[in-house]
């Protein structure tokens, strides 16, 4: 069965709250944001910087609920800085038939990474 990769969730213009170089890697996210965008723990995500167009791929790990946390860990801490706005995309493999009925979850946030709207 052939599959395609589709975007199933998006955290739009969340702000980086921390960048920790001394960590093994990943992005730590507020689990409330993860849930709203349909991002599973340890799922591969794409991170795109609004500041410098950098694109990074890593896995998401849950942080503290209701904290607004968006922390780049390890190597990407050199590319993303606190205050930077980023777009985080979650992708999944599915058949074309499954993708036809897909309704991606888009999460818009305020300046503190609190959910403002679900699109």
The domain spans of the chain are 9-92
Alpha-carbon span 83 to 90, nearest angstrom = 21
Phi and psi dihedrals of 72, rounded to 5?
Answer: -85, 125
Active site residue 59: yes
pLDDT for position 24: 79
Catalytic residue selected from 23, 26, 42, 90? 26
What's residue 5's pLDDT?
97
Dihedral sign (CA 88, 92, 98, 100)? positive
Q: Residue 82: name the closest of 105, 111, 109 by CA.
A: 111
CA distances 7 to 31, 40, 71, 79, Å, are 19, 14, 22, 23
Write down the pLDDT at residue 98: 96
What secondary structure letter does DSSP report for 117? E
Architecture of the domain delimited by 9-92 = Beta Barrel (2.40)
Active site residue 49: no
pLDDT of 118 = 97
**Strand runs labelled E in 16-43:** 18-20, 26-29
């Amino acid at each position: 069965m052939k599959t395609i990769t589709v975007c199933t969730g998006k955290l739009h213009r969340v702000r980086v709250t921390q960048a920790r170089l001394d960590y093994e890697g990943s992005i730590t996210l507020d689990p409330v944001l993860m849930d709203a965008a349909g991002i599973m723990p340890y799922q591969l995500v794409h991170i795109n910087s609004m500041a410098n167009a950098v694109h990074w791929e890593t896995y998401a790990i849950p942080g503290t609920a209701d904290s607004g946390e968006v922390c780049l860990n390890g190597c990407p801490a050199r590319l993303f800085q606190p205050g930077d706005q980023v777009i985080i995309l979650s992708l999944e493999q599915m058949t074309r038939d499954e993708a036809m009925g897909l309704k991606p979850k888009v999460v818009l946030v305020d300046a503190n990474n609190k959910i403002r709207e679900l699109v």
